[in-house]
Amino acid sequence: MNTYLVTGGAGFIGSNFVKYVLKKHPNTHLVILDNLTYAGNLGTIKDDLTNPKVTFIKGNISNPRVVKEIFEKHPIDFVVNFAAESHVDRSIENPQLFLKTNILGTQNLLDTAKKSWTTGKDESGYPIYRKGVKFLQVSTDEVYGSLGETGYFTETTPLDPRSPYSASKAAADMIVTAYAETYKMPVNITRCSNNYGPYHFPEKLIPLIIKNILEKKKLPVYGDGSNVRDWLYVEDHCKAIDSVLLHGRTGEVYNIGGHNEKKNIDIVKIIITTIKRLMEENPGYKSALKENNDSQQDNLEWITDDYLITFVKDRLGHDHRYAIDPTKITNELGWYPETKFEDGIVKTIRWYLENQDWVEKVTSGNYRKYYRQMYGNR
């Protein structure tokens, strides 16, 4: 029975990974470390926490005492590091927090894992590790920078981060590589494109657009909406991470992507049309609409691109296009994105329509203040 330390397991991808692993490998023990920032919510994993194989610890990945105690108490075989400050817009407002969590936090995890896993030294002085252990760093395609109209990121594309967020993630990747080179630590790095799916915090494009439509608010599209992202259904990402962890070649980087490039403006239009269609097909979904307009629930005519979309000031240093070439993970591990975007987006929108209580809970704190600061009173 493997014991995983899953950091950031109360966030979007981490919580989906927890659910995925519990289903796929019911015989594993999961230790979740999360300090429950605005982006982490225990409600997201409440059912998983009733599983006796799951242990939750509220704590900071940067805290040496907390992480050391975890390794002392639990026979950790795998570290899967999801914990991070993850929102580019917030990194533009407060870069330092991103450096502290994403870089120093990662280094603290690496260092504690290294000490705990070391069983001796070889003749050259390199540590020898307990068999079967691995540190997997969950990274992002954003470390490669921004593409023009053509081309793809491969694992050998030079790192060229351009936002404080992506710079912190690139630095984290480099410290992981440094531990692999200097201490021969068994690691993998995965670099994934934009995820979407259930439990995505509504500061990110897709859940924010869904939430705003339900509140009959304007839909803020940065710049002219021509920026391109490569969207991957979150469960496909979890499957890829599981595969790299168990079967990936130690020391390797694997890109994970959906081959599903879309302009932001097209994503917004797809969400508008899909919500309207789902409500017409199933009028029960109209109950997800917020009651800021009495006639809103009967009449869906206002759900149009023209009425809802508003072009707002562009993000500073807005990367133009991301696109992943996933050939390596497909060839070596047989992974491919199983969920077609047309299906994944419908599943995702249905989930939000059916889980408004989750949305209300996670946005009840500082979210409104953040929204006003970012978008004004739109």
Nearer to ligand TDX by C-beta: 31 or 136?
A: 136
**N-to-C CA span, the chain:** 51
Closest by CA to 236, choosing from 347, 357, 356, 362, is 347
Q: Does 176 interact with ligand TDX (rule: CB under 6 A)?
A: no
Q: Is 142 a known active-site residue?
A: yes
Binding partner selected for residue 205 from ligand NAD, ligand TDX, none, CB under the kind-specific 5 to 8 Å limit: ligand TDX
| Rounded-to-integer distance, Cα 198 and Cα 205, Å | 13
Closest by CA to 304, choosing from 205, 215, 213, is 213
Please give the angle made by the CA atoms of 186, 187 and 192, to the nearest 5 degrees: 165
Contacts of 142 (CB under 8 A, 6+ apart): 88, 161, 163, 165, 166, 169, 319, 322
* From 34, 77, 85, 141, the catalytic residue: 141
Q: Does 205 interact with ligand TDX (rule: CB under 6 A)?
A: yes
Q: Which listed range, 14-22, 219-227, 243-251, 351-359, lies at the site for ligand TDX (CB under 6 A)? A: 219-227
- Where helices occur in the chain by DSSP H, the ranges are 12-24, 64-73, 88-93, 95-98, 106-117, 164-182, 205-214, 234-247, 264-281, 305-308, 327-333, 341-354, 356-362, 367-375
Q: Does 191 interact with ligand TDX (rule: CB under 6 A)?
A: no
**β-strand 118-121 against 127-129: which pairing, if any?**
antiparallel
- State which of residues 38, 59, 215, 222 lies at the interface with ligand TDX (CB under 6 A): 222
Contacts of 21 (CB under 8 A, 6+ apart): 4, 6, 28, 30, 238, 242
Nearer to ligand TDX by C-beta: 29 or 211?
A: 211
| Rounded-to-integer distance, Cα 198 and Cα 113, Å | 31
Q: Does 194 interact with ligand TDX (rule: CB under 6 A)?
A: yes
Q: Is 305 a known active-site residue?
A: no
- State which of residues 168, 264, 348, 363 lies at the interface with ligand TDX (CB under 6 A): 264
Q: Does 221 interact with ligand TDX (rule: CB under 6 A)?
A: yes
Q: Which amino acid is at 226?
A: S
Task: Map residues 34-63 to x or -, x wherever contact with ligand NAD holds by CB under 6 A.
Answer: xxxx-xx-------------------xxx-
Task: Map residues 302-341 to x or -, x wherever contact with ligand TDX holds by CB under 6 A.
Answer: -------------x--------------------------
Q: Which listed range, 80-88, 258-266, 281-289, 337-345, lies at the site for ligand NAD (CB under 6 A)? A: 80-88
Nearer to ligand NAD by C-beta: 70 or 275?
A: 70
Binding partner selected for residue 222 from ligand TDX, ligand NAD, none, CB under the kind-specific 5 to 8 Å limit: ligand TDX
> Measured at CB, which residue is nearest to ligand NAD?
11
Q: Does 255 interact with ligand TDX (rule: CB under 6 A)?
A: no
Q: Are 59 and 105 in contact (CB under 8 A)?
A: no
Residue 231: HSE in the Cβ half-sphere, 13 Å Cα cutoff: 21
Interface positions with ligand TDX (CB under 6 A): 86-88, 140, 142, 194, 204-205, 208, 220-222, 227, 229, 264, 315
- Positions annotated as catalytic residues are 141-142, 165
